[in-house]
Amino acid sequence: MKELIFATHNQNKVEEVKAVFNEYNINSLADVDYHTEIEETAKTFEGNALLKAKHIYDVFKTAVFADDSGLEVAELYGAPGVYSARFAGEEKNHKKNNAKLLEVLAEATNRKAQFKTVIAYVDANTTICFEGVVKGEIATELSGTGGFGYDPLFVPEGYNVTFGALPSEVKLKLSHRSRAIALLFEHLKSLT
């Protein structure tokens, strides 16, 4: 089975990817004993994904992919965007992020939003990015215990419940990360 490094310390993301694609052995940064945090200093999802993938490729010299994901809220002109994990502070606290989002949208009539993922793939011959987007809106209160991050607040288009309340297999089919991962693995299949 082919090996791929997923340049993340986020085990939720690793499980999501493994659930979508099982033709590769996916190793997280913990699996390859890399525990240093990679600073996300770019101003775009693509920039941060490339930064992480290139850094880990330089360390291990093997095929790697990285993602950067976030929530873009229309009323907030695309914020929190690349700062989604740190929306309420540097400690990356999901509960505080959700509470802050509800607070800043308390009077908002436009609750449209989208989740976006950009995946960067790097190997000896290729550097390429793939994007996945799912549109929806922000609920007025938390709902559901599934998923992570903003999932209890995000209602995808065509549904009347949040990602947090949807069965995990339904969320996986819809998710921005799954869409970007599907494009990545289509690309990888075309190389064989």
How far apart are the C-alpha atoms of 2 and 153, rounded to whole Å? 37
Instruction: Tell me whether the omega of the peptide bond preceding residue 80 falls within 30 degrees of 0, making it cis.
Output: yes
Spatial CB neighbours of 138, under 8 Å, sequence gap ≥ 6 = 73, 101, 105, 111, 113, 153, 154, 155
**Catalytic residue numbers, as ranges:** 68
Host domain of residue 80: 2-191
pTM: 0.90
The CATH number of the domain holding residue 50 is 3.90.950.10
Low-confidence stretches of the chain (pLDDT beneath 50): none
Please tell me the predicted confidence (pLDDT) of residue 127: 96
The total number of structural domains that make up the chain: 1
**pLDDT tens-digit readout, 56-112:** 999 999 999 999 999 999 999 999 999 999 999 888 899 999 999 999 999 999 999
